[in-house]
Amino acid sequence: MVIGDPMEPDTQLGPLSSEEAAVKIADQVRRAVDGGAKILLGGKRVNQAGAYMEATVITNMLPGNPVYYEEFFGPVAVFFKVKNEQEAIDLANDSPFGLGSSVFTMILKGANG
| Cα–Cα distance, 35 to 59 (Å, whole number) | 12
Q: What is the mean pLDDT of the chain?
A: 89
**How much is the pTM?**
0.81
Q: Residue 38 maps to which CATH number?
A: 3.40.309.10
Which domain covers residue 96, as residue numbers?
1-113
Query: Is the per-residue pLDDT at 12 higher than 80?
Result: yes
| Cα–Cα distance, 67 to 13 (Å, whole number) | 24
Number of domains in the chain: 1
pLDDT at 101: 67
pLDDT tens-digit series, residues 74-107: 999 999 999 998 998 898 888 877 766 677 777 7
